[in-house]
Structure 1
């Protein structure tokens, strides 16, 4: 059997200090609030990512629809496709507005949620 080597005094003091801090009620509540704030920030970031994905996907769809409408206009001269071009522009503008609203709400949620 080997003899145990005692820990240096500064290590023991640091461990005792850390243990006392963990048991402190004030620190525990701050840690809980900090975790809650972090979770709100993560949720906001995910909402912004989802909004950005939606904006990108809708922009791709609108661009494709506009390309097809333009091709049909050039090939057949059908003026009804001009309405499709207008609709695609409205789709893009609406998606950009939605993205702006989502990012504003997400930033506001993170900013106003209690940090401590």
Structure 2
């Protein structure tokens, strides 16, 4: 598939797909006229890249992790890196849950204030 179709199927801009190639996150074959062509598997790869970006991983970390996904190649260093990224994500999740709980408390207090006219505690 060409770059525009991959962009449509993944919801990622053409510009972002070109960036992924520059960062060695995604590869394509070139036609004689220079057009990029991607295999169907590129859709899943782009979605994975997007998930990893959303989790806060920089492109250099994603490049290090992709061989495990693509070829099954695993090294002790990669296992350490995967574990460290998971621990970092767990920490972020914990902080987000704490923030959500504080917002719930604030929403409850604000709702009470709105209904009763009394100031927020």
What is the TM-score normalised by the length of structure 1? 0.40
Q: Which has the higher helix share?
A: 1
